Amino acid sequence: MDKKQPVVAFLGPRASYTHQAAQSVFPPESHTLTPLMSIADCFAAVQNDKASYSVVPFENSSNGAVVFTLDLLADIQGLCGDVVVTGEIYLPVHHCLVGRVSGGEGGGTQAQSVSGSHDATGLLEKEPTESQQPHVRPTHDLSHIKKLYSHPQAWGQCKRFLSTHLKGIEQIDASSTSRAAELVAEDTTGTTAAISSKLAAEMSSLSVLADSIEDFEGNSTRFFILQRRDAVSPPPRQRSTPQTSQSDPQTQPPPEEASPAPAYKSLLSFTVSHTIPGALQRSLGAFNNHGINLTSINTRPSGEAAWHYIFLVEFEGRKGEGKVDEALKELEGAARGWRWLGSWEAWRGGREGWDSVFEQ
Amino acid sequence: MDKKQPVVAFLGPRASYTHQAAQSVFPPESHTLTPLMSIADCFAAVQNDKASYSVVPFENSSNGAVVFTLDLLADIQGLCGDVVVTGEIYLPVHHCLVGRVSGGEGGGTQAQSVSGSHDATGLLEKEPTESQQPHVRPTHDLSHIKKLYSHPQAWGQCKRFLSTHLKGIEQIDASSTSRAAELVAEDTTGTTAAISSKLAAEMSSLSVLADSIEDFEGNSTRFFILQRRDAVSPPPRQRSTPQTSQSDPQTQPPPEEASPAPAYKSLLSFTVSHTIPGALQRSLGAFNNHGINLTSINTRPSGEAAWHYIFLVEFEGRKGEGKVDEALKELEGAARGWRWLGSWEAWRGGREGWDSVFEQ
């Protein structure tokens, strides 16, 4: 290992989606890519100057924000106050159902439901509607599958497939989708399956029983690149198309970019007084009054006391632009406190296919 | 069972926190309280007229909003469009570490960390800060504990205790804290423990190894009472103090009520155009322009397409009040679409102790 290479920490294990995202921006030949076991570890590595960069998941298009990342950005525990966001990566996420092919006949037989005893109360009455139907069918028989492993985020992204083809099958959380595939590979009965990437299936010598089982065809995850506040330098190749998606039209910028693409995005957190009515609106109004476009708002408990919140707001623009500086001045008077969490150049992944996926 | 009694569904199993919340408002002698296995089932029971009311968790003061409840209120799957919120319940949540008392010496010995191998990368450097210290110590030895069971929400509410006294111990998700206690009771080795309520520990004949291990002393959960839109009648005893907290000063209204208590709160969801910059601000501005106080904002993927969001906004007031009606008219012009999700009388649990907990 070349000691002079910058260290890039990422949420592991190897072959995770975050690993794929990190590789798309940081060439492994000139960076020391290092898997860590938790998002908190990735923040700590940057905070404590053990890594130049960390790559962590921020939100998934089907499943929403990653709460652990929100709480670490809000620095609720007071452990990573020097960490800022300096880049973003969008990566298409195609989940597969992976496991052993059964000895029986193949061809998309629906797994037997074992959820009959679930409704002992007689209160339930469910008929799947058209909007719930998954857009793919299994390529192999699933009737031998008795147990599923995956990361909790994946259950939320594959609800339709699971409720149609694996209804009532026990779901066991694993620390990552790659780890889920390993657990299935270790199981000698052949009756377990995992939701993971195709890459993880290959690494664990498992078969793909169903491909692209995510609910939405545009399913993708957005990652943040983190650096220390006092060591900010633009991440390399920030504007290039990632290696993993050159042939994949589903690495897109977010739909806000239908209007001319904003050059920069920024993130900050703020808290408001609980005794002054309207404090939240006045804080948000600071952006509106200066024509700044908000791209996301997230609310989390602030950790100060019960029912106190911290708000994370993302917007177009960066410090030094007149209207942003003026909005910050107005925010200063409206919020109880606020903290700058970084600016970065908006992702410009491949645009092919963009309109067909995002137009309504 | 008296067939004429209204059916009240709640997120089970029996002895769950939601059960305690439901009992505090719906007297079991005049209601048929029925546990269901998931929050989705609770919504479906009301939607399909199988239950008059359902009680579901909405947010916890330490851990934030319950994503499943948000998504069902937003009706992303199109299955429960007739369900509205007609009441709220605040319940103090005291988590206990429960299990078997070890044969060894008692007295708060710290469990041995098994996380040493975790940092094979050498990138980590963590020193616990004062703000991370838990506010209680175990009342029994924990060195025999090798495995923990609990509901995922509980891990997030007890981070400080776990990282101090049970660092690196394997955490296994259970479907509820009550179920976690049952799993520990079934384990004959005596080396597992659960995070659950004291009530669940008693029902499973387990000992309390540490009491009130939640990070924040005011830890409490807010529940919503659901009804069908076309069958709204105020839930009974909505304004009474719950049975479980008469002696507990920690059932408080939220801090917004430092100013004169609002009589009503309301909830609605809206989506915005992705091609019109500023659409989100203009939608939020509809409330600001008419002096309506927002009490929460939550953002979730809308389910329509990747990176499309739905916003859930809660505010003081109700339909029929002039300023609310005017704000709705303005929202109509600013949002792409919006949906009314109910009004209810704000919770008025015991106020004693309120200032000492919420004042900063």
**pLDDT < 70 regions, chain B:** 1-3, 104-131, 234, 236-262, 349-360
Residue B260 domain-assigned (yes or no): yes
Residues A241/A350, Cβ–Cβ less than 8 Å: yes
CA B77 to chain centre: 22
Q: pLDDT tens-digit profile of A273-286?
A: 887 778 888 898 89
Counting the structural domains of chain A, the total is 3
Residue B144 domain-assigned (yes or no): yes
* pLDDT, position B236: 66
Question: CB–CB of A219 and B360 under 8 A?
Answer: no
Residue B165 domain-assigned (yes or no): yes
- Same domain as A321, residue A232: no
Q: Inform me whether the C-beta atom of residue A3 falls under 8 Å from chain B C-beta atoms.
A: no
Q: Which domain holds residue A184?
A: 96-111+132-210
How many Cβ atoms from other residues are within 10 Å of residue A170's Cβ?
A: 12
The Cα-based distances of B106 to B103, B210, B289 in angstroms read: 8, 12, 61
* pLDDT, position A77: 82
Token digits of residue A183: 């657990």
Question: CB–CB of B64 and A7 under 8 A?
Answer: no
- Same domain as A322, residue A347: yes
Residue A245 domain-assigned (yes or no): no
Q: Inform me whether the C-beta atom of residue B132 falls under 8 Å from chain A C-beta atoms.
A: yes
* pLDDT, position A62: 83
Contacts of A116 in chain B (CB under 8 A): none
- Same domain as A224, residue A87: yes
Residue A190 domain-assigned (yes or no): yes
Contacts of A283 in chain B (CB under 8 A): none
Residues A84/A269, Cβ–Cβ less than 8 Å: no
Selected residues 167-186 of chain B with any CB under 8 Å from a CB in chain A: 173
Whether omega before A13 lies within 30 degrees of 0, making that bond cis, reads yes
Residue A255 domain-assigned (yes or no): no
Q: Inform me whether the C-beta atom of residue B286 falls under 8 Å from chain A C-beta atoms.
A: no
- Same domain as A75, residue A29: yes
CATH of the domain at A318: 3.30.70.260
Residues A72/A298, Cβ–Cβ less than 8 Å: no
* pLDDT, position B252: 46
Contacts of A34 in chain B (CB under 8 A): 121, 123
Q: Which of A243, A228, A220 is nearest to A27 (CA)?
A: A243
Contacts of B284 in chain A (CB under 8 A): 281, 284, 288
- Same domain as B315, residue B261: yes
- Same domain as A138, residue A57: no
How far apart are the C-alpha atoms of B130 and B345, rounded to whole Å? 40
Partner-chain residue, chosen from B41, B79, B216, that has the shortest CB–CB distance to A305 = B216
SS3 A261: coil
CATH of the domain at A165: 3.40.190.10
**pLDDT < 70 regions, chain A:** 1-3, 104-132, 234, 236-262, 349-360
What's the length of chain B?
360
Q: pLDDT tens-digit profile of B253-304?
A: 454 444 555 589 999 999 998 877 788 888 988 998 898 988 889 999 998 8
What's the length of chain A?
360
How many Cβ atoms from other residues are within 10 Å of residue A176's Cβ?
A: 24
Whether omega before B13 lies within 30 degrees of 0, making that bond cis, reads yes
- Same domain as A230, residue A316: no
Contacts of B254 in chain A (CB under 8 A): 307
Instruction: Mark residue A325 as left, alpha or beta (left: phi above 0; alpha: psi -120 to 50; beta: remaining).
Output: alpha
Q: Inform me whether the C-beta atom of residue A302 falls under 8 Å from chain B C-beta atoms.
A: no
Contacts of B316 in chain A (CB under 8 A): 277
Question: CB–CB of B64 and A300 under 8 A?
Answer: yes
Residues B106/B224, Cβ–Cβ less than 8 Å: no
How many Cβ atoms from other residues are within 10 Å of residue B104's Cβ?
A: 11
Selected residues 139-168 of chain B with any CB under 8 Å from a CB in chain A: 152, 156, 159
Q: Inform me whether the C-beta atom of residue B126 falls under 8 Å from chain A C-beta atoms.
A: yes
Q: Which of B46, B7, B62, B75 is nearest to B231 (CA)?
A: B46
SS3 A191: coil
Give backbone dihedrals phi and psi of A271, rounded to 5 degrees, phi first: -120, 155
Partner-chain residue, chosen from A36, A119, A281, that has the shortest CB–CB distance to B123 = A36
Contacts of B118 in chain A (CB under 8 A): 37
Q: Inform me whether the C-beta atom of residue A235 falls under 8 Å from chain B C-beta atoms.
A: no
Partner-chain residue, chosen from A44, A79, A293, that has the shortest CB–CB distance to B277 = A293
* pLDDT, position A303: 84
Contacts of B153 in chain A (CB under 8 A): none
How far apart are the C-alpha atoms of B148 and B166, rounded to whole Å? 9
Angle between the B67-74 and B39-47 helix axes, to the nearest 10 degrees? 30
**DSSP at A265:** E
- Same domain as B178, residue B277: no
Q: Which of A305, A316, A238, A317 is nearest to A275 (CA)?
A: A305
* pLDDT, position A105: 45
- Same domain as A227, residue A202: no
* pLDDT, position A218: 84
Contacts of A136 by beta carbon, 8 Å cutoff, 6+ apart: A161, A210, A211, A212, A213
CA distance A265 to chain B (A): 14
Q: Any idea which residue has 């990282």 for tokens? A: B163
Closest chain A residue to B315, measured at CA: A278
- Same domain as A231, residue A190: no
Residue A334 domain-assigned (yes or no): yes
- Same domain as A338, residue A289: yes
- Same domain as B106, residue B204: yes
Residue B359 domain-assigned (yes or no): no
Torsion of CA A233, A235, A239, A245, to 10 degrees: -170
Question: CB–CB of B124 and A7 under 8 A?
Answer: no
